Structure 1
Amino acid sequence: MTNSLIEGRNMSRSFHGGGFFRRSRSIQAVSDVSISLSRGEAVGLVGESGSGKSTIGRLMLGLMDLSAGRITFDGDDLATLDDKRRRALRRRMQMVFQDPYSSLDPRRTVGSQVEDGLAIHNIVPKDQRRERVVELLGRVGLEPHHADRTPRQFSGGQRQRVAIARALATDPDFLVADEPVSALDVSVQAQVMALLADLRARMGLAMLFISHDLPVVRHLCDRVVVLYLGRVMEEGPVEAVFSAPHHPYTRALLSAAPSLHAASRRERVVLRGEPPSPANPPSGCVFRTRCPSAIEACAGVVPALEARGDPAHRVACIRHDIG
């Protein structure tokens, strides 16, 4: 982790819920999660809805405060930065959202929206911004005249390209892509994935790629972190985790992905029940109530992440006999 561009250590985030007539209760969205990214590296975050993926992305961008833990970017602790330094740092950290239409202002031209970052951070003089906007649109496969159109005049894939161009305007070092292709048709997904891979290679972007689509993660990422109810179940190099998953939850996710299932001839693992409420998580291993391999001891201990063979491939499970 010493060569990391961005590093989150023991990150936790809780929320307080409850209505007017109910006592407020704490909801643990993320619990003791550590993630680091080097320059040019892509790390995938996978897990079911409610696993904490988007919360982690916002924490690492400084858009949400930690309840516990620490995040450093290029050696600077985000919590200790004054307003001036935090503003300068925001230029180097950007996000691409799942729904490109809702993340763009439908009343303004896309050119003016791509230009926002240039103006806010005073990156180029005003008389050179139009030229820079055209260059950015070209980088994502759009034409100069597209700058004068509004978002409603574009297809979903084109809107996502605009959103990517807007994120690239500040020349960031770190990009969080939160389900950036899930709202797109399959053919368009492939185009946007290829674009992200190309931009990452050419710009040396560190990318946190949040997705429930495991084949996409395998194609795009170097490492993968598997989350369940705010905790890391398994992490490691993509090929190591996908070809030899150790955690029962990872196995279940992989077995449910049709293309991966066919390639590996992995037997389908069906999980029982629904994920428990984060307001009332199970004791011990949070996955134990749905785990096909759970034993009585799983209720008494929160399993630590431990290496299984490869030091970079770590698993949070006390059942060493099923790896």
Structure 2
Amino acid sequence: MTAPLVRGEGLTRAFHRRGGLFGRGVPMMALRGVDIELHRGEAVGVVGESGCGKSTLGRLLLRLMTPTSGRVMFEDRDLATISAAELRALRRRMQMVFQDPYGSLDPRRVIGAQIADGMVIHGLAQGTTVQDRVAALLRQVGLDPGHAQRLPHEFSGGQRQRIAVARALATQPDFIVADEPVSALDVSIQAQVVNLLADLRGELGLALVFISHDLHVVRHLCDRVVVMYLGLVMEEGPAAEIFRAPAHPYARALLAATPSLRHRGAAASPLAGEVPSIAKPPSGCVFRTRCPMAQPACAQSVPALRLLPGDATRRIACHRAEEIAA
């Protein structure tokens, strides 16, 4: 296999809330040593409940946020050690599609100008070439090029998200993070945007991190899935295998809560209890307080993310991995 385009190694991110001894603040670990890699043309879905660290991970991979520890490698270049000029050049190749199509566009500027910004800043087009490129991008995402002089409020939510995709494509990126890009849209419009991303990934060979709580969308779009809980990866592997037979108890519970994705033989049993606070996570395995397989030993140490016994394609963070694989 070729070397990954993007690789996150031991990514940790701490935030602080007010309070604590001498007003230093209480540390909250949004991410706790996450490893992830992405190859050219690959789509990786990142799933989990709200607050599990999905969006933080996406921002770290794009260097929109600095990790507390760990590093992000882009084509074997550490984004923390390259020069400002090198990072600026790499910005062209890394783009993001945000969750809210209403808030991610400037309401006072026509959409053609907003799509053109990236290509102008990075010197990819100038003069009439900019207008031609904007028109081509609008056609590519299924919109009328004649609407380039309209303001964002003149478009529907689905159309605005298509505009956001066009803006991300304007710099000819290799890597896109899409952070819940359809959650703010009507169900009837969601499929259109997902199909658009799938078509563009195949056509352009984009590497895509797709962050979502919607397992239906992830199953349709992604090659691999990363299942997160409280800042840690619980399971990672091929989407087809995880949706067919999830291994980690948390992954099983997520799928069991979605009837049409429920794996064979699973009961519809929602997760018991609430997600613990990231300011005070459980000792040992962070999922143990809600896990039906938890034993006293699970409180003693954090399980390492390791290959599922007998499966060279999947990793699981569980002290009882051997029993699960049996």
| Superposition CA RMSD, Å | 1.4
**Structure 1 residues 198 and 121, CA, compared in 2 at 3 Å: closer, same or farther?**
same
SS of the equivalent of 1:10 reads strand
Residue aligning to 1:269: 269
Q: Which residue of 2 is the match for residue 146 of structure 1?
A: 147
Alignment correspondent of 1:300? 300
Match of 1:7 in 2: 7
User: Which has the larger displacement, 14-23 or 108-117?
Assistant: 14-23
Aligned match of 2:90: 89
The residue aligned with 1:46 is: 47
TM value normalised by structure 2 = 0.96
Equivalent-residue separation in structure 1 for 2:89 and 2:193 (angstroms) = 28
Whole-angstrom distance in 1 between the partners of 2:313 and 2:8: 17
SS in 2 for 1:49: coil
**Alignment of structure 1 residues 225-240 onto 2, 5 Å:** 225-240=226-241
One-letter amino acid of the counterpart of residue 288, structure 1: R
1:130 partner SS = helix
1:291-320 alpha-carbon deviations (Å, 9 max, x no partner): 111110000010011212221211101113
Instruction: Supply the distance in 2 between the matched residues of 1:146 and 1:229 (Cα, whole angstroms).
Output: 43
**Match of residue 278 from structure 1:** 278
Q: Distance in 2 between matches of 1:126 and 1:17?
A: 48
**1:23-52: per-residue Cα shift (whole Å, max 9, x none)?**
411111001111101000000000000000
Distance in 1 separating the partners of 2:101 and 2:53: 21
Which SS does the other structure have where 1:208 is aligned? strand
Q: Kindly indicate whether residue 253 of structure 2 is the aligned counterpart of residue 252 of structure 1.
A: yes
Amino acid at match of 2:303: P
> Following the alignment from structure 1 to structure 2, what is the Cα–Cα distance between the partners of residues 46 and 160?
21
Deviation, 1:112, is: 0.7
Structure 1 position 209 matched with structure 2 position 210? yes
2:188 aligned with 1:172, yes or no? no
- Return the offset for 1:6: 0.5
Identity %: 61
Residue 19 of structure 1 deviates from its aligned partner by 4.5
Q: How far apart are 1:265 and its partner, in Å?
A: 5.3
Deviation at 1:143, TM superposition (A): 0.6
1:155-202 C-alpha deviation (Å, 9 max, x unpaired): 110000000000000000000000011111122111111100000001
Aligned residue in 2 for 1:17: 17
Q: Quick check: 126-135 or 192-201, which moved more?
A: 126-135
C-alpha distance in structure 2 between counterparts of 1:265 and 1:104, whole Å: 45
In 2, Cα distance between equivalents of 1:67 and 1:107: 36
Q: Which runs of 4+ in 1 moved over 6 A?
A: none
Identify the range of structure 1 (18-27 vs 143-152) with the bigger mean alpha-carbon deviation. 18-27
Whether contact under 8 Å (1:246, 1:322) holds in the other structure is: yes
Given that residues 223 and 235 in structure 1 are in contact (C-alpha distance below 8 angstroms), is that contact kept between their aligned partners in structure 2?
A: yes
Q: Is the 8 A contact 2:19 2:26 kept in 1?
A: no
Distance (Å, rounded) in 2 between the aligned partners of 1:66 and 1:198: 32
Q: What's 2:187 paired with?
A: 186
Distance 2:17 2:73 in 1: 29
Structure 2 unaligned segments of length 5 or more: list them. Answer: none
Paired AA for residue 78 in structure 1: L
Counterparts of 1:258 and 1:205, CA distance in 2? 31
> What corresponds to 1:317 in structure 2?
318
Moved more, 301-310 or 57-66: 301-310
Q: CA deviation at 1:66?
A: 1.0
The residue type paired with residue 118 of structure 1 is M
2:208 corresponds to which letter in structure 1? Answer: M
Structure 1 position 322, deviation (Å): 3.4
User: Is contact 2:248-2:317 (8 Å) kept?
Assistant: yes
The TM-score normalised by the length of structure 1 is 0.97
Aligned residues: 322
Structure 1: where are the runs of 5+ without partners? none
SS at match of 1:217: helix
